[in-house]
Amino acid sequence: MQDKTAALYTERRIMRYDKGSWSELNDQVTLERPLHLEINGRDFITLLCTPVQRKELAAGFLLSEGIIQSPEQIVSMDLREKEDLISVELTGIEINFEDRIKKITLTSGCGRGTILCDVMDTLSQPRVSGSMALSPVEIIERMHELHHLSSTYLKTGGTHSAAVTDGRSLLAFAEDLGRHNAVDKVLGFCFLNRIPTGDKAVLASGRISSEIIMKVGRSGFPILATRAAATDQVIRIAEAMNITLIGFARGSRMNVYTCPERITGTGRKGRS
């Protein structure tokens, strides 16, 4: 879980206009820092993020981009906070750095997010086989818990949040200025702590776009739920990867776009 003692925001003196009058006050704003990711001594990519859970972010990014598949491939992770640098030594892999750069895709994520692959390649990825089943009440209760844990968002309005759940409780939680970063952080937490994913769900606060559903599918999670919307491309990818995709899970309602058999009460039989 996220270290709640670490501040994700700072205070700035601002001028506020409200109903015809001005006032001067302190306002809380989200922190943003670069994270330079170095692999086996070579510069790889720079991620703009909220500067907490940066090892989890790096691990989740490498996992969700298909660069690593097991924690044993990580020999070491050296985080140099003052330099905004994390140096990762990997073993048992070969990276064509030039080819990866050629495949960079600018995403619809917060800021100018990137993924190091062709989105359409995902349609041929292995299907997720997890057979988790959740009730609508479990999803709504866990989404409510996600919202109330998002203390930085409630203070600044400038972050997204993500979590991993087994239906009964939240096993991982993260906030970040980028919704894709928040997802990578909880994926990285589960990966580094060897938490099985086939019977877990990912929860998110923001709109689901292609890079996020790809990250979740590659990590083996069978269910992804968000408080916000999904795009048509996301629905196509979720169908192809056999992921249950849920949108607008807020209040007492939700939309189930794909694979409803994992949600109890829909009248669909679960898969074996």
Residues in the chain: 272
- Catalytic residue among 49, 110, 190, 259, which? 110
Type of residue found at 49: C
CB atoms within 10 A of CB 184: 32
Is 110 annotated as catalytic? Answer: yes
139 neighbors 206 (Cβ within 8 angstroms): no
Q: Which residues are catalytic?
A: 110
